[in-house]
Amino acid sequence: MPTSSTPWLRVGRVMQLGLEGVAGATLFAMMLLTTADVTGRYFFNSPILGTVELTQLMLAAVVFLSLPVVCWREEHVSVDLLDAIFPPRLIWIRQVIVNLIVTGALWVMARRVWALGERAMEWGDVTEFLRIPNGYLIYLISIMLAASALLTLLRGVLYFLEGIRVIERGGPLSPEKGKGGDT
Contacts of 152 (CB under 8 A, 6+ apart): 71, 72, 99, 102, 103, 106
* For residues 34-48, average pLDDT: 94
Contacts of 58 (CB under 8 A, 6+ apart): 26, 27, 29, 30, 33
Query: Average model confidence (pLDDT) for the chain?
Result: 87
In a domain, 183, yes or no: no
135 or 4, which is more confident = 135
Encode burial over 144-178: b for 16+ CB neighbours within 10 A, e otherwise.
bbbbbbbbbbbbbebbbbbbeeebeebbbbbeeee
* For residues 43-50, average pLDDT: 92
18 or 9, which is more confident = 18
Looking at the structure of the chain, the number of domains it has is 1
In a domain, 63, yes or no: yes
In a domain, 31, yes or no: yes
Q: How far apart are CA 166 and CA 178, in angstroms?
A: 20
Q: Which domain holds residue 17?
A: 7-168
In a domain, 20, yes or no: yes
* For residues 103-128, average pLDDT: 97
In a domain, 173, yes or no: no
* For residues 94-111, average pLDDT: 95
Report residue 181's pLDDT band, with 50, 70 and 90 as the boundaries: very low
Given this model, what pLDDT does residue 14 score?
87
> For residue 43, what is the DSSP state?
H
Report whether pLDDT(171) > 80: no
